[in-house]
Amino acid sequence: MLSLIQKGGPVMWPLLVTSVIALAVTIERIFFLIAERSRRRQDVVEKILSEVEAGNFDKAIQTGNQSQDFVARTLVYGLGHREKSFSSALLRAAGQELKRFNQGLPILDTIITLAPLLGLLGTVTGMIRSFGLLGQRELEAPTVITGGIAEALIATAFGLVIAIMALIPFNYLNARMEEARHEIEDASTHLELSLQKVK
């Protein structure tokens, strides 16, 4: 691995850093999703909604406060502000919850764009170095050129591999965030309909 980095030139070190960051973000986000899935309690959300339909707002809030479910937290925040601005409260709570799901995604997005560009930069600088040696070693020119180009292309390949490997978790995490958004929107709409029935 170290010899590969040395062959790819100085730009390989930033590429190595971006790969480590991408791996760290991916691992942290996977643990986050596992934790959120273990806290997910659909039965608590349904109980909150049934309590609201029965007109027991305090009991609904109390039920939600006992849960760590992100949908339940959103509904409880909305219920706590139902007298002032219910819709705005739901939107604010949903935004706060989705912000937690979005953490790390901008970093992965940046790495997906940055890694291939760094790879291309390494290739270009490697080619410049190779052609610079051409004038100094006329007799060994073919070997110098082909060897230099091969080394330069390592950076591009490495950058593309990092981008591809970061793209898979990025799309997966985006899909999980959209799923969370759908769950919050569905429960919030149900809550609004339940409140209208009570009124």
SS3 assignment for the chain = CHHHHHHHCCCHHHHHHHHHHHHHHHHHHHHHHHHHHHHCCHHHHHHHHHHHHCCCHHHHHHHHHCCCCHHHHHHHHHHHCCCCCHHHHHHHHHHHHHHHHHCCHHHHHHHHHHHHHHHHHHHHHHHHHHHHHHCCCCCCHHHHHHHHHHHHHHHHHHHHHHHHHHHHHHHHHHHHHHHHHHHHHHHHHHHHHHHHHHC
Average pLDDT over residues 62-87: 87
Please report the pLDDT score of residue 139 as a whole number.
46
Both tokens of 56, joined, read 């027991």
Domain ranges of the chain: 8-111+167-198
Q: How far apart are CA 104 and CA 22, in angstroms?
A: 9
Task: For residue range 127-185, list pLDDT tens digits in order.
Answer: 777 666 666 555 455 665 666 676 678 888 999 999 999 999 999 999 999 999 999 99
80-109 pLDDT, tens digit per residue, is 887 788 888 889 999 999 999 999 999 999
> Tokens 């985006």, residue?
174
Residue 7 has pLDDT above 60, yes or no: no
Tokens of residue 17, six digits:
């850093």
Q: What is the pTM of this model?
A: 0.82
Closest CA to 22 of 179, 176, 180, 164: 164
Contacts of 169 (CB under 8 A, 6+ apart): 22, 26, 29, 30, 108
